[in-house]
Structure 1
Amino acid sequence: MLKLLANENIPRLLIAQLRERGHDVRWVLKEQRGLGDPTVLASAFAEDRVLLTADKDFGELIFRAGKYASNGVILLRVLNTKSQVKLTQIALPVLEAHEASWLGHFSVIDLHRVRVRPLP
């Protein structure tokens, strides 16, 4: 089971599908709308959740600004996909297939591959 904090930019359909499959997902859009990125990152850490986002700024925060995110971050780079259905069809199987890889890593999922890098 994944334990995720989904950022505001994650589509509702993907959140719903993850929850239907038994994953523990909190969604910033519904519960903490408008939080800044450092606060979202801190919330994920405090709640022992992996952050699921489409915001590339989290890479900057972690690798350049030195913000701590030991739980992990998953960056979805497939959000230019116009359809929430198509995005969910792409992202959901990848999220579940690589479940053990997310903790302690900064991971990027795009249309062609998954890149996983240990967090500092």
Structure 2
Amino acid sequence: MRLLADENVPLPSIFALRTAGMDVAAATEDAPGASDREVLARARREGRVLLTFDQVRRRRLPGHPLR
């Protein structure tokens, strides 16, 4: 599974997932300050599952296929 960790995912968690063999890209490392829409577009473009702790994101994107 390919993941894209949002900026609110702690770096130690990202490092632990990578150590476990997961393919994890991190917005914190690659695109700090990117908007929610930019991060979501990147996840779709790269075929990644968005990993986030943002409870608000789901409400802001109702009906989106990546909920």
State TM-score, norm by structure 2: 0.88
Aligned to 1:13: 12
Provide the aligned C-alpha RMSD in A.
1.4
Greater strand fraction, Structure 1 or Structure 2: 1
Larger Rg: 1
Comparing both structures, which one devotes a greater share of its residues to helix? 2
Taking the aligned partners of 1:48 and 1:61, their CA distance within structure 2 comes to 21
Deviation by residue 1:5-33 (Cα, 9 ceiling, x = unmatched): 00011011110110011100000001000
5 Å-filtered alignment, 1:1-120, equals 2-63=1-62, 66-69=63-66, 106=67
Following superposition, the deviation at residue 68 of structure 1 comes to 4.6
* 5+ residue gaps, structure 1: 70-105, 107-120
- The TM-score normalised by the length of structure 1 is 0.52
SS of 1:54 mapped into structure 2: coil
